A and B are shown apart, each in its own frame.
Chain A
């Protein structure tokens, strides 16, 4: 009987493929490889009066571009020792068109896929950079562009080039000019809000608050022009401090008070429309999720704790504005829940683990990242970063690390997606201090981006920013 069934199936498939003398084959998914990129040192064409500064600028641009393109995961780099021509002596354009042009064949021989040639000059505190990108197998120019900026904006210039290359090859925006907002104690014992480039370079760190007390939990507005955060502000009438919600505008430096109900107003997150800010209000062992309208200043209760000791906190809104994800202890232990923004369809999404918190939607709304602990800290439990589909399926662990010189596992917490949804930034105490790390959403290419002995908390990756 089985033989006849098999025969019928094969006859069916044969007849469906054998159609008018053609045989159909689905080849299947491709094997993916990184492209080989040759990035020679930059050629300086300016006057030599700039001297050492010019050399240093060129080296800085080179480092920024190389780091950006390495993190993109699209490229592996040709060792400069393998170059067959001296790029200091050859021009930026190929021969035979350009005098003293470089030879494509010398790059083909070492199997280069892409070649970047950059020349720059510095004049009166300004930098001008000519960048050419070539696809070597076809001896084709991918793009050629000139960049001009103040010398102080050199790093931004380099990030801009990396973004342009990614856009040209993939059609998608690059993340190299995005920023990270975070809380840290970089200036004394108090925690303040800071913003820095995504790559964590020290020179890019900008201080936002100078409260000299606790300023915590920043988050970006959808247009990247404002920051919402919590500060323990002093209430003169009550003669006490209260954790109030503030709004900071980058362009003006202005600070506005938006929510100051007695208790703790924290964990702010914007709705995609930029008008509403959702946050957690905690008082007397009860924690609710509220919403403040930045236009009318009206505060609404969104998720109310049903009884004492019920905590509903850490809200995040999906990019389409239709879903809210939050952490709740309504079933006993802190677990991840989703709900429609209108208050219907409340669903529990995690059932495993001891403590699941800090949930965030991916920019495309298909994934949720969170920090999870599989047993209590008193039993040796530790936090790791997890990613899952929004319905709770296909859960994967992204991190796993031991503390330095210890047999204990490190705590990896407070995740936040990059605006392209391909990377996650998080804090880790593996060096016995909370430092910032990034990892791809498949758990690969983990790299550290802060290298000091400060404690960083609540990193929030900015949206795409205007260049």
Chain B
């Protein structure tokens, strides 16, 4: 009642402030209750899409300073004979140590230089370095050569299949045969033989005829000529 009387005694502006404060307190209390009494949902901060950076740009390496050459300075000291002898020994010892240190540094440097020279002479391919948007090279054949290789093989298959003709009475008999061929750099078939016979003379003849009719095969791509002419082809019919 006193509160109400006190409220009634206020000015309209003050009344509005009181009302505003009351509402603020009400909202705060709701959230306080919710926070204390009810479990809050964990907000997941994981990314919906995970992007792994394949490579980061190279770190800019600061050039390391080369070890400076130690100049051999002999220090001459004026001292009494006895004391001079002692100090001379000390000097000599220090000199030796300094020389040893500089020699080690020199050996290290020489080793580093030798390694660099070796790398240059061997022409080792550098380990693939993934840099931003640049695709690294593959293991055996690189990307373009691999595509050419596959394309050539499918062309060989298509050419031989085109000439593989069987008489109708030999079809549907589950006959199978394997043949081995070798080609030269121009694609001419220089060797052919039946590896696994179908036990049917006419089927084997059809296989050999299809090989004869397919020669010359397409010329291998330039970069793959040596690879393809060194390896032999094993053909499975069908």
Chain A contact surface mostly: mixed
B19 to chain A, nearest CB (A): 60
Contact across chains for B236 and A23 when beta carbons are under 8 A apart:
no
A306 CB → nearest B CB, Å: 43
Pick from A11, A25, A26, A30: contact of B138, CB under 8 Å: A11
Bound complex: CA A166 to CA B210 (Å): 25
Inter-chain CA distance A405–B234, complex, in Å, is: 59
Task: Find chain A residues with CB under 8 A from B230 CB.
Answer: 21
A254 on the interface (CB 8 Å rule)? no
Q: Is A97 an interface residue (CB 8 A)?
A: no
A7-60 contacts to B, CB under 8 A, are: 7, 10-11, 13-15, 17-18, 21-35
Cβ of B166 and Cβ of A7 under 8 Å apart? Answer: no
Closest to A15 in B: B140
B164 engages A27 (CB within 8 Å): yes
Per-residue contact bits, chain A 197-208, to B (CB 8 Å; 1 contact, 0 not): 000000000000
Contact A27 B167 (CB under 8 A): no
Chain A interfacial residues counted at CB < 8 A: 35
Is the C-beta of A396 less than 8 angstroms from some C-beta in chain B?
Answer: no
Across-interface contacts of B206 in A (CB, < 8 A): 30
What residues of B have a CB within 8 angstroms of the CB of A35 in the complex? 167-169
| Nearest chain A residue, comparing its CB with the CB of B158 | A28
- B139 within 8 A of partner (CB): yes
Docked-complex contact A24 and B234, CB < 8 angstroms: yes
User: In the complex, what distance in Å separates the CA atom of A34 from the CA atom of B232?
Assistant: 33
Complex CA distance for A1 and B210, rounded to whole angstroms: 41
B residues in contact with A32, CB < 8 Å? 165-168, 171
Beta-carbon nearest neighbor of B210 in chain A: A27
The CA-CA distance from A351 to B171 in the complex, in Å, is: 34
Contact with A along B1-35 (1 / 0, CB 8 A): 00000000000000000000000000000000000
The answer to whether B168 and A25 have CB atoms under 8 Å apart is: no
Inter-chain CA distance A135–B167, complex, in Å, is 12
Which residues on the B side are within 8 Å of A18 (C-beta)?
Answer: 140, 231
A31 to B231, CA, bound (A): 28
Per-residue CB contact flags for chain A residues 65-87 toward chain B (1 = under 8 Å, else 0) read: 00000001111000000000000
B111 located at the interface, meaning its Cβ lies under 8 Å from any Cβ of chain A in the complex: no
Number of A-B contacts (CB under 8 A): 103
A24-B234 Cα distance, complex, nearest whole Å: 5
Q: Please tell me if the beta carbons of A25 and B233 are within 8 angstroms of each other in the complex.
A: yes
Cβ of A285 under 8 Å from chain B: no
Verify if B186 is at the interface (C-beta below 8 Å from A). no
Most buried by A among B169, B173, B202, B231: B169
Contact (Cβ within 8 A) A27 B232: no
A285 to B79, CA, bound (A): 143
**Are B141's CB and A34's CB within 8 A?**
no
The answer to whether B165 and A26 have CB atoms under 8 Å apart is no
In angstroms, Cα B115 to Cα A352, docked, is 79
What are the residues of chain A within 8 A of B143 when measuring CB–CB? 7
User: Which A residues form the contact surface with B (CB < 8 A)?
Assistant: 3, 7, 10-11, 13-15, 17-18, 21-35, 72-75, 113, 135, 138, 166, 169-171
Q: List 27 contacting pairs A-B, 8 Å CB cutoff, sorted by A.
A: A7-B143, A10-B146, A10-B147, A11-B138, A14-B146, A15-B140, A23-B228, A23-B232, A23-B234, A24-B233, A25-B153, A25-B156, A25-B157, A25-B233, A25-B236, A26-B236, A26-B238, A27-B157, A27-B164, A30-B166, A33-B165, A34-B167, A72-B169, A73-B168, A74-B169, A169-B169, A170-B173
6 closest A-B pairs by beta carbon, nearest first, are: A30-B166, A74-B169, A169-B169, A35-B167, A74-B168, A30-B164
